[in-house]
Chains A and B, each alone.
Chain A
Amino acid sequence: MAAGLASALVLAPEVFAGTTVLWRVAWLPEWGLDFALRLDGLGLLFTILILGIGVLIVLYAAYYLPKTDDLHRFYISLLGFAGGMLGIVLAENIVLMVVFWEVTSLTSFLLIAYKYQEVEARISARMALAVTGGGGLALLAGVLLLGSVAGSFDFSVIEARAGDVRADPLYPVILILFLLGAFTKSAQFPFHFWLPHAMAAPTPVSAYLHSATMVKAGVFLLARMYPVLAGTDLWFVIVSTVGAITFVYGAYVALLKHDLKGLLAYSTVSHLGLITLLFGLNTPLAAVAAVFHIVNHAIFKASLFMAAGIIDHETGTRDMRRMGGLFYSMPRTAVLAILAAGSMAGVPLLNGFLSKEMFFTAAVAHPGFDGANLILPVVATIGGMFAVAYSVRFVWDVFFGQPPQDMPKTPHEPPGWMRLPVEILVALVLFVGFLPQFSVGPLLTVAAEAVLPGAVPEIKLAIWHGFNLPLAMTVVAFGLGVFQFTRRHKLYALQERYTWRLTSPVAFERFYRGATRVSTSVMALVDSRSLQRNLVLFFSFVLVLGVWAWWTTGRAAGWVSTLTGPLPVGEVDLASAFAFAVLLFGAVSTVVYRRNRVMAVIFMSVTGAVVSLAFLRFHAPDLALTQLSVEVVTIVLLLMCLRYLPETPVAQSTGSRRLRDGVLATAAGVGVSAMAYAMLTRPYETIAGYHMANAKPGGGGTNVVNVILVDFRGYDTLGEIVVLAMAALGLHALLSGTRMQGPPTVALAKADRYPIMLAELMRPLLPLSLAVAVYIFLRGHNLPGGGFIAGLVAAVALMLQYVAGGVDFASERLRLNYVRLLGVGLGIATLTGVASFWFGASFLTSTHGYVYPPVIDKFELASAMAFDLGVFLVVIGTVLLAMTEIAALRRGETTAPAGAPAKDRG
């Protein structure tokens, strides 16, 4: 920090010479975010403030914080904060400023929660984050808008286009967003409430962040943006009103606080309000006063906080009602604190007096408040009065007044090093107070030059301006303030009766919990976690979107005519009508009998058979064969699983739900029918001619469907067997280790479990079926068939051995690791594809040719056949792994010791 301060001071001469030092590293130039910094007077002033006080705070904290704490957390956060704060004041790119802005919010969050064991610290931290972080987001929006209006995110450019900005229709929006950022950060009413609770942080943090620096980021923003955004009526109305309210309200509440840091916190709120009010006045003088007061407040408030910390540290309490007479036990600290408090109250010869005088002057001199309209001077005086009152109270209650009541520790002076920072700051209070022009004059001037767009008024920093209205106001404020102080107990009583607790951490937590509760109920309402509900939403969404697309796009051609194409419609033959009737019967019966599960399976298979026959009828033998075999294997799997499902299904859904689902299902059906009819009655242009033409010469097969499968689109087929293998692997992973029992059944005789005729006849059937499988496999490329169907035939034949002889019997004889079989199958298919790399061709490029083994006639061998072998093996592995795993679910049922807990609770 000291190094930073030093380097800032190195650059200071340039700044004093009127140059703005710019420095830039590109970060995201296209999107307006650059690491661009500027050092102008305002920046320099704040840099000195941040770093200077920062050094003192670090020194102070070294003695303040117990050594046992994880101090590194504190220092890292504090340094992070200082960096963020510096970034804010030095940013040339205003997006970058937002970046640093949020860094300070975040580090503030961490520092407030430093003592996280205390619930209040945790909640206060979150509350502060919510308010300042939220304001930062508003600021971000404002910055982005401003950048878009001004055409750049560089402050220099924006400043140059200030007039355009103020004339832009978006100006009010931008202004409000910026002010939201400034007001939340600087704890302006009604966003002030987080600041007093931020006092849960250790005192060095309070001194640094919540009085000297971070809360100044808001008013810094007002200062920084003053040349761009100020000068309008809107600015005046909002900023000065909010500032005034905060000024008075903060001061009033400060008087009521019994907690030392609470008083100081509300006093900070009040002073920030004062600064805001000054910026809001839209006059150069007021702006200069504001900048000046920023400096003064930082100095005296930091010293006050540190003094309060010393008192807390040495007495063990911060409750002013419990202390008193400390002047006698810690006189040095007392003197320092009294001087600082005097500055806070605006006692002459102390720096606070100077800026307050300027404020009163600005209030009186404001063109909007002439003799007739005295509201501003009155407000100023009332605020000043409360400031005097709480300052006096602070001094009196702590250092004088009644003797201390049961304080946890016996107070004594702190170590000298701990007091040193306070001493330095109070020295500054005096130095500025006595020699304003010499001490801060030049700095204030360059800072004011940076803030004020036009000519800077001559800044007369003097202790004595003669007898004038401001002086009178000061006197009045002092008189009333002291009077107020003497009557303070009445106010306390009032406060006890009408405590306004809406802004406490408890309230914040309650609010947060409320939001959580509301969200939870909303989620419960919209997301029932029910699959059925999600499915209803899905199908409804599809329908709505489909109908909408048709409605809006089909308008041009006439809605209904879009559904009917020009092709002539074929006649219905008797067989087709019959098949249609069977299909209808099967499908509807499946629905009707869904609760009698075997029946439902039977009807479903009837339906599937009709579909298969339809495929055959329309010249798709491959499809018919595949569909048929797949269906049977599916049914076997279904039946195997059915064994473990409860006999009586769960309760039926209500009538209204069935009606709803029925309507939805019908609508889906109508939709598919309509689209199908639209398709069937339209001619189309297809790329398939290429496949027909190239299947034989290019793919080496005459069954174009198969050549597409293993060659033109062999990649799809590879994916398809990957899916199959994964399905098998997935169920293997799911079921391994799972044991289930079905509903209790009568123990079966062996003859019933392995019916003898089945067992005996399956044995000759196996080799014969395998021969058939080989036959189907080999002819696939030229005629319907191929690896998939062959695999299913072989798998079914092997499966029958399991059915007939049992798992133990078959597994003993079929020593195959099906997982490995899947790997081998996939491996063969993949290798076939990779093999083409050696010929410099892409994956899965096929080659084919005739081989002439002895005796055998010419036998066409396509590389695609090896691919098909992979398919074949994967299918076998999949089916058998599925079968054996599901069958194995019951294993151990008989050998399990009696009374063993059943996995299956059905």
Chain B
Amino acid sequence: MLTPAITIGFVLVGLATALTLWRLAKGPTMADRILALDTLAIDAIALVVLMGLSRGISFSFEAALLIAMMGFVGTVALCKYLIGRAIIE
């Protein structure tokens, strides 16, 4: 029961990722792209967790936590760059 669910999950998240990538490529604004990148990070968390479930990869949690933290930091940095070009001042 879990296996088909995971497969469906993979497909759904994979589709989401593809759509997000499309937005990333399309833009039009930089904010759009950063938003897409941020979303990609969250999609990646989903993918990692699903990968953990399907392939028995044991350390998906740590990866997920780290992607969450680091994705956030990346978004903050990119946004601050866009706002005032200075990330730390």
Contact = CB atoms under 8 A, between A and B. Distances in A.
A and B touching (C-beta < 8 Å)?
yes
B69 A769 contact: yes
B89 A606 contact: no
B74 A745 contact: no
Interface string A794-808: 001001101100110
Contacts of A769: 69
B21 A585 contact: yes
A87 to B, nearest CB: 71
Contacts of A890: 86, 89
B36 to A, nearest CB: 8
A598 B78 contact: yes
A748 B87 CA distance: 13
Contacts of B33: 598-599, 602
A636 B74 contact: yes
Interface stretch (A151-159, A304-312, A617-625): A617-625
A616 B24 contact: no
A144 interface: no
B65 interface: yes
A883 B58 contact: no
Contacts of B63: 612, 616, 621, 624-625, 628
Interface residues of B, number: 45
Contacts of B17: 578, 582
A613 B49 CA distance: 11
A636 B73 contact: yes
Contacts of A752: 83-84
A742 B37 contact: no
A886 B59 CA distance: 35
Interface in B62-81: 62-63, 65-67, 69-71, 73-74, 76-78, 80-81
A640 interface: yes
A758 B37 CA distance: 19
* Secondary structure of the B contact surface, majority rule: helix
Contacts, number: 139
B22 to A, nearest CB: 10
Specify which of B51, B81, B83 lies most central, judged by the most chain A CB atoms within 10 Å of its CB: B81
B62 A887 contact: no
B83 A628 contact: no
Contacts of B76: 758, 800, 803
A469 B16 CA distance: 117
Contacts of B55: 617
Contacts of A632: 70-71, 73-74
Nearest to A616: B63
Contacts of B51: 613, 616-617
Contacts of B71: 632
Contact of A602 (B24, B66, B85, B88): B24
Given A589-B25, A776-B62, A753 B89 contact: yes
Contacts of A884: 88
Interface residues of A, number: 58
B17 to A, nearest CB: 8
A841 interface: no
A628 B74 contact: no
Contact of A621 (B57, B70, B81): B57
Contact of A613 (B24, B47, B74): B47
Contacts of B41: 609
Nearest to B77: A636
B85 A793 contact: no
B55 to A, nearest CB: 7
Contacts of A758: 76
A471 to B, nearest CB: 104
Nearest to B65: A772
A616 B64 CA distance: 11
Interface in A588-632: 589, 598-599, 601-602, 605-606, 609, 612-613, 616-617, 619, 621, 624-625, 628-629, 631-632
B80 to A, nearest CB: 6
A545 interface: no
Interface in A544-586: 575, 578, 582, 585
Contacts of A886: 88
Contacts of B40: 606, 609
A800 B48 contact: no
A784 interface: yes
A605 B60 contact: no
A639 interface: yes
Interface string B8-28: 001000100110010011000
Contact of A745 (B34, B69, B84, B87): B84
A643 B81 contact: yes
Contacts of A424: none
A639 B78 contact: yes
A785 interface: yes
B85 A643 contact: yes
Contacts of B87: 636, 639-640, 643, 803, 887
Contact of B73 (A599, A601, A745, A796): A796
Interface in A878-906: 883-884, 886-887, 890
Nearest to A641: B87
A617 B77 contact: no
A582 B89 contact: no
Given A598-B78, A628-B63, A613 B85 contact: no
B30 interface: yes
B70 A807 contact: no
A831 interface: no
Contacts of B58: 621
Given A617-B57, A643-B86, A793 B69 contact: yes
A602 B21 contact: no
B53 interface: no
Most chain A beta carbons < 10 A, residue from B57, B67, B71: B67
Contacts of A748: 83-84
Given A643-B85, A742-B85, A802-B88, A784 B70 contact: no
B37 to A, nearest CB: 5
A755 B77 CA distance: 12
Contacts of B86: 643, 742, 745, 753, 887, 890
Contacts of A642: 81, 85
A800 B69 CA distance: 11
Residue picked from B41, B44, B70, B85, most chain A C-beta under 10 Å: B70
Residue among B33, B47, B80, B89 with the highest chain A CB neighbour number at 10 A: B89
15 contacts: A598-B33, A602-B78, A605-B74, A606-B40, A613-B47, A613-B48, A625-B62, A628-B66, A629-B66, A752-B83, A753-B86, A753-B89, A755-B83, A789-B66, A796-B69
The 6 closest A-B pairs by CB, nearest first: A621-B59, A887-B88, A632-B70, A636-B77, A643-B85, A748-B84
Interface of B: 10, 14, 17-18, 21, 24-25, 30, 33-34, 37, 40-41, 44, 47-48, 51, 55, 57-60, 62-63, 65-67, 69-71, 73-74, 76-78, 80-89
Given A602-B33, A636-B73, 13 more contacts: A606-B24, A609-B40, A616-B48, A616-B57, A625-B63, A636-B77, A636-B87, A640-B87, A742-B86, A769-B69, A776-B62, A785-B62, A886-B88
